[in-house]
Chain A
Amino acid sequence: MIRAVIVMNDQGKPRLIKFYQYQTVEKQHELIRSIYGVLCSRAENVSNFIKVDSIFGPDARLVYKTYATLYFVFVFDSSENELAMLDLMQVFVETLDKCFSNVCELDIVFNFNKVHAILDEIILGGQVLETSSSEVVKAVAELSKLERTSSSVMLIPSIPGWHGR
């Protein structure tokens, strides 16, 4: 199971926080600070995996990758394949790239709602939901369309295209 997905910048400021196991806000930020501490002290040209038992409890693994000014971090347990997590992170980043055409930190800051919507189409309850970025883009686009076209008072059930694919 995936336990958390975190995006933060190289100053340690969180840009996206999603925990799939309940943690209090204080605890979340304590964990993020510890992760940032570990990431900062990593040398270059080392593996993308870190054992994080001391931060997240037994069995926890972490995979991270840096994209420009951002750290992308997935925390998961031994039931997930580490190398596949790396590919899944790539799916997430590719999808962001498609949705924001060349995503940058500011896109994520100002559209954190949309980023959550994208993530929710890839991972649900800590399990992998979808791995094709074009499928995710399609699903998110349909949500946005529905959001734009529905008046905020009532839904009109005859919106073109909602009958599914």
Chain B
Amino acid sequence: MNPFFSGTRLRDMIRAIRACKTAAEERGVIRKECAAIRASISKNDQDYMHRNLAKLMFIHMLGYPTHFGQMECLKLIASPGFPEKRIGYLGLMLLLDEKQEVLMLVTNSIKQDLNHTNQYIVGLALCALGNICSAEMARDLSPEVERLLQFRDPNIRKKAALCSIRIIKKVPDLAENFLKPTASLLKEKHHGVLITGVQLCADLCNISTEALDYYRKKCTDGLVRLLKDVANSSYVPEYDVSGIADPFLQIRLLKLLRVLGHGDADASDFMNDILAQVATKIETNKNAGNAILYECVGTIMGIEENSGLRVLAINILGRFLSNRDNNIRYVALNMLMRAITVDSQAVQRHRATILACVKDTDASIRKRALELVYLIANESNAQSLTKELIDYLEVSDLEFREDLSANICSMVEKFSPNKIWYIDQMLKVLSEVCC
């Protein structure tokens, strides 16, 4: 082996790999590199640790085994320098397999870094913890993360909030420790802290009923006000997406309100006004506006019944079905499928538009629409739906015919009023499909 091989720079290695003409050639280059890296590791070559790990991450991305680099990550994380720590943490997140020993060894380093005086190192440690934390680590490091929820810099607070989500998912018993600190995150002004705090709050509610009761009582009021403020706020260029004020935060808030309103009539009542406002006032010529509207519809369906709002919501979905953007039609069909269990009458009113979607140019939309047609079919409309679909069978794409005819057949079978009609329809399908 070339004794100077460990001297190739990352860039040179990438170039060499890119220059390979065949997979075998690539394997050859990588085998050589890996051998050099292993040799360098076994010599405990401090100067090349950083470069070795960067190379291993690239090799990992190409799908080759790199487990022998895991201990290098730990060494780099434990070293005092920022560049070393940074690449070490990056490597840890990418190369780690779920071996407990490695996680156990790294726990102490992470603990030290969570208490580091340099806040960027604290940030690195939080990021790694949020990505790879195990149940054991969650128990060990939870107090540090709880403390960091009150750190002076908001950029650390927002990372700590997301880290907390991972912790409570790994160890739900720890949820109660986060109740109060999370409530104070919801009162902040900083955007990143709010968006992560709202998410943490929603996850706490999903995990513990105690948390759900707590936030329902203490925070519904404030969250409704917050959504009102954001929805009515004037232009804030930082968080504005195509003219809509902070759609990401609005969506997170709507999601949390859905959790709080579900199964609680009082809380639901309390948010009706703002939901109606969002549903009627939002600009819908851009994706961001429609994203909010779509979330708002989901929340209206998810909270306790208010029939006026529900009709409004399903009408919005009906409007979505004739939107020119394929994505909007696609999500509307998804949501209508869920809406059927809530209010099938209201969905029935959009039968014509749904049928039109069966004839859409986009195959995935056709497929969804067909599933939905099957769901809205009943004794009274089956005959007209069948006729529509059979007429379309004549002109439909070849690859769609299989799904379409299967659907027609099961509909005919399920709802046929008499044998003659049944045989008639089946014959029609057969004659369309066979010729």
Contact = CB atoms under 8 A, between A and B. Distances in A.
Tell me if A's interface is mostly helix, strand, loop or mixed.
Answer: mixed
Contacts, number: 176
Contact of A153 (B80, B163, B195): B80
Given A46-B362, A87-B247, A147-B82, A109 B14 contact: yes
Interface in A43-96: 43, 45-51, 79, 81-84, 86-88, 90
B241 A87 contact: yes
B288 to A, nearest CB: 6
A25 B152 CA distance: 39
Contacts of B166: 125
B54 interface: yes
A54 B327 CA distance: 21
A165 B153 contact: yes
Contacts of B291: 81, 83-84, 86-87
A84 B163 contact: no
B331 A83 contact: yes
B327 A86 contact: yes
B359 interface: no
A87 to B, nearest CB: 6
A157 interface: yes
A117 interface: yes
B159 A129 contact: yes
Contacts of A46: 326, 362-365
Contacts of A113: 54, 57, 87, 90
A112 interface: yes
A46 B199 CA distance: 31
Given A43-B363, A112-B57, A150 B192 contact: no
Interface stretch (B31-39, B59-67, B384-392, B412-420): B59-67
Contacts of A125: 130-131, 162-163, 165-166
- Most chain B beta carbons < 10 A, residue from A14, A49, A90, A154: A49
B63 A135 contact: no
B185 to A, nearest CB: 14
Interface string B350-382: 000000000001111100000000000000000
A50 to B, nearest CB: 7
Contacts of A132: 191, 238-239
A110 B82 CA distance: 21
Contacts of B62: 14
B401 to A, nearest CB: 17
27 contacts: A24-B97, A25-B60, A45-B326, A46-B362, A46-B363, A47-B329, A82-B327, A82-B330, A83-B287, A83-B290, A86-B291, A112-B58, A117-B86, A120-B127, A124-B131, A124-B159, A124-B163, A127-B162, A127-B165, A128-B195, A129-B159, A129-B162, A132-B238, A150-B82, A153-B80, A155-B80, A155-B82
Given A15-B61, A43-B363, A153-B81, 5 more contacts: A46-B326, A47-B329, A49-B330, A128-B252, A152-B84
